[in-house]
Amino acid sequence: MPARFSEAKTDTIPIRLIAPADVPDAFADLTEAQRSWIDHMGFAAKPGQVLSLADASGRPALALIGLGKPEVRKRTRFAVGAAIAQLPADTYRIDALPEDVSGDEVGLGYLLSCYRFDRYRNQPRVKAGLVAPPQTNAARLEQIAEAEALTRDLINTPAEDMGPDALEAAMRDLAGRFGAEVTATEGEALIGANLPLIHTVGRAATRAPRLLDMTWGNSGPTLTLVGKGVCFDTGGLNLKPGASMGLMKKDMGGAATVLGLAQMIMSAALPLRLRVLIPAVENNVAGNAFRPGDILTARNGLTVEINNTDAEGRLVLADALALASETPPDLMISMATLTGAARVAVGPDLAPFYTDDDPLAAALAMAASNVADPVWRMPFHTPYESMIEPGIADLDNAPKGGFAGSITAALFLRRFVKDTPRYAHFDIYGWQPSAAPGRPKGGVGQGARSVFEALPEVLNL
């Protein structure tokens, strides 16, 4: 069930948010028994610290949640919302927010903390209900949290149950909810449709490769989202070691994230025309698998030398981006779990993005700060273009040397984007390696909320 805020009631329990500097003055209006309990429990207003207080009859009367020092608070997103989710079963409200605390972040942090992946095992639910914090758009936050849950569910589902066919079913289900249209080009039909790289990467798998194409909206500016849908990546003939293959169910994290973003857009009924393209494949091993040294021709006619079959994501995205460029949108965004180099550069928490458009980059950076969805601009460094030019073909899918791997991958993708006024590429991780407030270990959306927040400014909606 989607996470929801509780309805306001007369018997809701108030929450008081406390900064360390406010202790003990913030407790002056409490009873002596309550102050003694606070001292006994050692409540010091540390980030996310929780303490429930009772009245003289023993009934719940107040919940205290620590904010932590400002310099510490900056290090942890969603700590307050996650703390609320830990409270005992009851319904709670926040009557007033400190000036430096965002009601949206508190509310969204609570909703995101309610997420449970329970497809294969029952998981304990959050028992504490929360009335939407002051100065928040409750419906909007619920829509965002529900869309993020879709992204997480798709990434968390193992490849046995989330192959290209299941990813197509997920897109069709989403389209059915919002009146969007979906077409799928599958298997050998990809050759006739001039989508050769998608076909070549996915042809060794038992589940047929396909290009999924969803459209929604009939007026307004045009937005195209392209998401990498590699539902499992063995590495192909350049087989990954077992330790590297263990997380490859998340290699469709780009597709999952753009579907979550699409749900945000359609839920909010943004006045735009949306297109979502997902090349959905498995990179597998069989007698017909593509090989190192092969030279492939992409949809737009560029030839690509294959120097590593484990650099397959950029190949399937290339055809999708070339297709998208044939009807250039006002804004195109690609998202992919594309390179380990991005993780080396910025770690698992930041979503690096590439764009040549300074105003677009500024809008994304501002939006990221506003919605606690960190992104970081990386350079389309043109002097590195020579690194992706092997000489025997137009492009190299895996330049030797290992330098600037995320940048060269982004440059590779840019070769397939033509006549599009604005383009950004996100090289995301799509995975939370250890639990954090509002983000359990597992699949996670990155960059989608920043894009969603920036769209009204970027597209003049």
Report pLDDT digits (tens) over 94-146. Answer: 999 998 899 999 999 999 999 999 999 999 999 999 999 999 999 999 999 99
13-136 and 142-458, same CATH topology = no
pLDDT tens-place string over residues 185-210: 999 999 999 999 999 999 999 999 99
Q: Which of 35, 69, 116, 240 is catalytic?
A: 240
Question: What is the chain's mean pLDDT, rounded?
Answer: 96
For residues 110 and 207, give the distance between their C-alpha atoms in angstroms, rounded to a whole number.
38
CB burial of residue 403 (10 Å; 0-12, 13-18, 19+): exposed
Residue with tokens 């928040």: 136
Please say if the pLDDT value at position 1 is more than 80: no
Task: Give the bridge partners for 230, in sequence order.
Answer: 281
Kindly report the number of other CB atoms within 10 A of residue 460's CB atom: 9
Compute the radius of gyration of the chain from its Cα atoms. 24
314 is catalytic: yes
Residue recorded with tokens 């999952």: 256
Length of the chain: 461
- CA separation, residue 358 to residues 195, 410, 411, 422 (Å): 32, 17, 17, 10
CA neighbours within 13 Å on the CB side: how many for 137?
7
- The answer to whether 282 and 159 have CB atoms below 8 angstroms apart is yes
Question: pLDDT tier at 84 (50, 70, 90 boundaries)?
Answer: very high
Question: Crossing angle, helix 253-267 and helix 164-178, to 10 degrees?
Answer: 10
CATH, domain range 142-458: 3.40.630.10
* Residue 131 phi, psi (nearest 5): -70, 140
In sign, the C-alpha dihedral spanning 192, 195, 200, 203 is: negative
| Predicted local distance difference test score (pLDDT) of residue 402 | 84
Domain boundaries, the chain: 13-136, 142-458
Measuring CA to CA, which residue among 269, 86, 189, 72 is closest to residue 64?
86
Hey, which CATH number is domain 13-136, 3.50.50.60, 3.40.50.2300, 3.40.50.170, 3.40.220.10?
A: 3.40.220.10
> Cα(231)–Cα(325) distance, rounded to whole angstroms?
24
Catalytic residue at 75? Answer: no
What is the per-residue pLDDT for 72?
Answer: 84
* pLDDT-based confidence at residue 401 (cuts at 50, 70, 90): confident
In degrees rounded to 5, what are phi and psi of residue 193? -85, 5
What pLDDT is attached to residue 29? 94
The angle at the Cα of 271, spanning 222 to 421, to the nearest 5 degrees, equals 25
Active-site choice (314, 343, 415, 449): 314
Residue 314, pLDDT above cutoff 90 = yes
Kindly report the backbone phi and psi dihedral angles of residue 436, in degrees, each rounded to the nearest multiple of 5, phi listed first: -140, 165
The conformation of residue 14, written as its DSSP 8-state character, comes to E
